[in-house]
A and B are shown apart, each in its own frame.
Chain A
Amino acid sequence: MAATDSTFHKVAQHLSLAWRNLLSLRKRDMRRALTGRNATIAYGAAIVVVLIWIFGGGDVLQKTTSDLLEKYAPPQSSIVVQKSDEDGVKRHAAVDPSRDGQDRPRTGDDPKADGETQPIIKPTDNPQYQESVEVDVSAKSVAITAGFSGQRIVVFGAVHKSLQISAEQELYDVIVVLEGTKAPLVTRRKSNVGGLWINTDSLKFARVPSYYTISSTRPIREISTPIVFDAYSIGFEHVRMDVADGKKTDFSEAELRKFRDAIIRLKAKEGLYQKKEDGVTFIGSALFRTSIDLPANVPIGNVIARTYLFRDAELIAQNTVTVALERQGIEAILHDFAFDYPLLYGIFAVLVAVSAGLAASAAFNRGK
């Protein structure tokens, strides 16, 4: 920045000199440089470009952006993750047999975990089911940096005391739900008022998962009953969305359903709600894994991976792991700056704009 008067003067002098150069250039050389035909091509091109941008371009642009949103982790990073996943599986495979003997007391309702493994909760107290499930993820924290373009997360786990002999036996079903932070959400519906499409109805939901992915061994309606899914918020149709207070009487049950469906449809379109009906695969008798692509637009906050183990349509074990999504690098600095010191950020934005404008014109005029 031109902090002192002398440097400002220098810049100003330079600018005015450059401007005068540009003015004198205009008359003599430019006319020769741009003959009639060249100029016509330029205007023609400009008009065509503008027409495309205005009429067709919007959709093309939107498509590019949504393509980006749908595009997942670049190949290199997925390879890296894949590799770490394999390590993890190996580690588990190696550790598991020894654990079988050691960790026997921990299979009960032990709420305290030693950091690595999460508390094991057994939803059914039926002593018939001895199984429990242990789960981990390939990345416990994901950095959202300026270059963030999505990340593949591998959720893997093992069925403890598995009665399965091989994966083909398909004795167990596993459902993995990844759920982002819950936030209030407004849905609006347009209707035609005097020829214009205007937002007329709106419905506010108190807590809607900002991100929701479900991956399972088979379509969930084949795994268990809606009662179980409702209780545990498993599946798009069973995600809990509470209407914010005060608005309950305005809409009928069918209307509420439509608003709900709209949220799921729009979120799915943004890539934030995903369903993988054969996403979970068993490896051998006890190990299973699923890979889930966090889209680039995944909302910042903790993502909770909930794993449910089913046998004969009965939920017999569950486990949760948390993946922390954090802003990092320049992206985090700018975001915090904007929200913590908005006034300074605004002034900073203006200063950046002013210096960019001056620098650009100085650079261009020097080149002439």
Chain B
Amino acid sequence: MTVYLPIAEMPINVLVFLAMGGAVGFLSGMFGVGGGFLMTPLLIFSGIPAAVAIGTEAAQIVASSVSGALAQYQRRNVDIKMGVVLLSGGLVGSVFGVQLVKELRELGQFELFVSIAYVVFLGIIGTLMMIESLNTMRKVRAGGHSSVRRSGQHSWIHGLPFKMRFHRSKLYISAIPPLLLGAFVGLLGAIMGVGGGFIIVPAMIYLLRVPTNVVVGTSLFQILFVTAGTTILHAVQNYTVDIVLALILMIGGVIGAQFGAVAGQRLQGEQLRFLLAGLVLLVCARVAWSLVVMPDELYSIAQSVGGH
């Protein structure tokens, strides 16, 4: 069963891409992550142009985060004020990111840049998560309690100006760190085709000391609006959002996520994080491999940008 994609301008097998969406959806449901960091490399490996993969993935992340964000909002787990600060930073980052994608495409270095970004970020996050989950596992086995929040402590973050009161997060901190964090995640999202949950969640917990129950809702809120903005920007600047491909991935993704969520409930938190760290490192290794090994074909051709 084939469909001709209007923007990628190529025929694809719908069933293959449905299965792909389903497999990634299953894993993202199981681990409670967006799945963008799995889906984007998969799309690129399967022959979708990198820029189309990233633009389309932004639309898919909107679909996969909207129901979660709504549910969290209704359970009052969203710190709207914090979300808006993160979001305004995120939109600025996204504008820069989309522009950067355009420039790099013209230079012909976009694929390289994406690959390096993946290797660096997945490598760092995967390693940190692996170490952290192993530590927690050891502590739990030893009978100790693992606590994350140390709200009393002060750090350099508390010395910054423009302080704001975030009621729901029970925080009184400068607006600069969340603004910068949002901008950074927005930039990454636009370049890597990810929601950025894997960066924003740990950063909110460890850097900003936001209570864990608020973190998930607020980050989902931020991801939803930033990826929506990124989708529109990619459509306007790069013409790379393929709605047909996005729809196929969405359908596979939501179905997979339902089953994944059920499977994920059987695992303990540390175990989940350990497996997720392993997965992140595998994707990292796969991308790094393709950079280091001599390609079969040294030449590549592309329609020169500007001629559309």
Give me the interface of A with B, judged by CB distance under 8 Å.
12, 15-16, 19, 26, 30-31, 33-34, 36, 39, 42-43, 46-47, 49-51, 53-55, 57-58, 61-62, 64-66, 68-69, 144-149, 183-192, 195-199, 202, 204, 258-259, 262-263, 265-267, 296-297, 299-300, 327, 330-331, 334-335, 338-339, 342-343, 345-350, 352-354, 356-358, 360-361, 364
- Say yes or no: A353 contacts B62, CB within 8 Å: yes
**Interface stretch of the complex, out of B19-27, B141-149, B170-178, B188-196:** B19-27
Per DSSP, chain A at the interface is helix
Contacts of B9 in A (CB 8 A): 297, 299-300
- Say yes or no: B16 contacts A64, CB within 8 Å: yes
- Say yes or no: A352 contacts B243, CB within 8 Å: yes
Contact of A350 among B70, B232, B263, B297 (CB under 8 A): B232
- Say yes or no: A186 contacts B304, CB within 8 Å: yes
Contact of B233 among A16, A197, A346 (CB under 8 A): A346
Contacts of B282 in A (CB 8 A): 50-51, 54-55
B133 sits at the interface (CB 8 A) = no
With A50-B282, A358-B66, A364-B254: A42-B4 Cβ-Cβ less than 8 Å: no
**Pairs A–B under 8 Å by Cβ, sample size 5:** A15-B70, A50-B38, A62-B46, A297-B9, A360-B63
- Say yes or no: A360 contacts B292, CB within 8 Å: no
- Say yes or no: B59 contacts A353, CB within 8 Å: yes
With A197-B294, A267-B301: A361-B254 Cβ-Cβ less than 8 Å: yes
B60 sits at the interface (CB 8 A) = yes
B199 sits at the interface (CB 8 A) = no
Query: Given known contacts A69-B10, A189-B299, A352-B243, what 6 new A-B pairs fall within 8 Å (CB)?
Result: A57-B45, A69-B11, A183-B303, A263-B301, A330-B6, A350-B232
With A61-B16, A184-B304, A197-B292: A350-B7 Cβ-Cβ less than 8 Å: no
Which has the most chain A C-beta neighbours within 10 Å: B235, B241, B279? B235
Contacts of A36 in B (CB 8 A): 266
Going nearest first, the 7 A-B pairs with the smallest beta carbon separation are: A346-B235, A58-B45, A346-B232, A262-B299, A361-B67, A61-B46, A360-B254
- Say yes or no: A354 contacts B4, CB within 8 Å: no
**Cα–Cα distance between A93 and B267 once the two chains are bound (Å):** 75
- Say yes or no: A352 contacts B247, CB within 8 Å: yes
B269 sits at the interface (CB 8 A) = no
- Say yes or no: A266 contacts B301, CB within 8 Å: yes
**Cα–Cα distance between A298 and B220 once the two chains are bound (Å):** 41
- Say yes or no: A146 contacts B3, CB within 8 Å: yes
- Say yes or no: A357 contacts B299, CB within 8 Å: no
**Cα–Cα distance between A34 and B300 once the two chains are bound (Å):** 49
